Amino acid sequence: MTEPVYARKRIMGNLPDILQLLFTGLAVGSIYAIIAVGFTVIFSSTQVVNFAQGEFVMIGALVSYWLVGAEHGPHLPLLLALPLAVLTAMFVGSALGWVLMRPLKDASVTTLIIITVGASMLMHGIASMLWGKDPVSVTAFSKTSGYSLYLPAALTGPDAYPVYIGTQELWVMGLAALIVLLLTFFFNKTMVGKAMRAVSVNRHGARLIGINVSRMVVGAFALSAAIGAIAGAAIAPISMASYGMGTMLGLKGFAAAIVGGLGNFPGSVIAGLLLGIMENFSATYISSQYKDAFAFIILLVVLVISPNGIVALFRRRRARA
């Protein structure tokens, strides 16, 4: 057998593995993308980096668990529990936005970051007291666990196994796409969305033309919290829910937001998906021990090459061309 033919057969034989890793990476990357969009919503409306964003993910996961499957919970239907979990996170997010309103007027960026970090630690501690420190399983959105996709034998050979597509992973990717579409419409086509953007550009000018700045800031935090809670409720049936789940997810979502360009919705989504795919492949083919480090390695590389994110880098190259 000639070398090119052998190489082609080897690649095709690994095609199910590659597609499986790609699909799983897209599902994980969709969660990072949703969290990154939450960071972007806050930054686009207030110029504040909210390091409590990961805790909204935790709230969405644990509240949905308590409402649906907890031993002493109300055991509500999933369709009712999920909106209630999102509303709970929105209430907490609104409270955080209200607390930040006074220092937001004249405080430094460092002060605001410290406040959000303190809020994150507070929510972290409260969650550990309410739900304990052990991970809990959460009910999936669908009863069907997943589907097996059989590839043509001409591509993979007769002994290749199918690619498994989990139903919950499909939910995650679908929710990520829906959130991006709705937010794009909200910020570009609605008066409230445009008002939030105006507050970000010039808070004093927005106040002069009649925009209620306080209401816009609180609304931005509530919207960001809702996005984080949706991410938490969606990922919990896959990875289980715990009081500490939001910390690493929040950091990776922040990395995706920075890599994509903080304040840039398309860039945040693309960066989140790419981080999920690269993390999955690198954990499989390099080492799973360093799985959590890959996102931050990519972040450091991008910051060295283009501090404003990969989208800004592509735009500069296009302008030069």
**pLDDT tens sequence across 77-101:** 988 999 999 999 999 999 988 887 6
- 166 Cβ neighbours under 8 A, 6+ residues apart: 27, 145, 146, 238
Query: Dihedrals φ, ψ of 136, to 5°?
Result: -125, 150
Domains of the chain: 16-320 (1.10.3470)
Residues in the chain: 321
Q: Is the dihedral of CA 183, 188, 191, 193 positive or negative?
A: positive
What per-residue string of b and e applies to 255-289 under the rule 16 or more CB within 10 Å gives b? Answer: bbbbbbbbbbbebbbbbbbbbbbbbbbbbbeeeee
pLDDT at 243 over 80: yes
pLDDT of residue 309: 66
> Of 9-18, 54-63, 186-195, where does mean pLDDT reach its minimum?
9-18
pLDDT bracket for residue 310 (50, 70, 90): low
Percent of the chain with pLDDT over 70: 85
Mean pLDDT of 243-258: 89
* Pure H helices in the chain: 3-13, 15-46, 53-68, 78-106, 109-131, 153-156, 167-189, 191-201, 203-208, 213-239, 245-260, 265-285, 291-305, 310-320
Decide: helix, strand or coil at residue 147.
strand
Over residues 115-158, the pLDDT tens digits come to 888 889 999 899 999 898 889 988 888 888 888 877 776 556 56
Cβ 275 vs Cβ 298: under 8 Å? yes
Give the residue carrying structure tokens 């860039």.
267
> Considering the chain, what is the average pLDDT of its residues?
83
Q: Would you state the pLDDT for residue 231? A: 93
3-class DSSP state for residue 70?
A: coil
Label residue 308 by pLDDT band (50, 70, 90).
low
State the pLDDT at residue 233: 93
| pLDDT band at residue 11 using 50, 70 and 90 as cut-offs | very low
Which residues does 146 contact at the CB level (< 8 Å), separation at least 6? 164, 165, 166, 167, 168, 169
Q: Provide the percentage of residues in the chain whose pLDDT is more than 90.
A: 29
Is it the case that residue 171 has pLDDT exceeding 50?
A: yes
Q: According to the model, what pLDDT value does residue 193 have?
A: 87
Across 186-211, average pLDDT: 85
Greater model confidence, 293 or 23: 23
Prediction pTM value: 0.86
If residue 146 lies in a helix (H) or strand (E), which one and from where to where?
strand 146-149
H or E element: which one contains 163?
Answer: strand 163-166
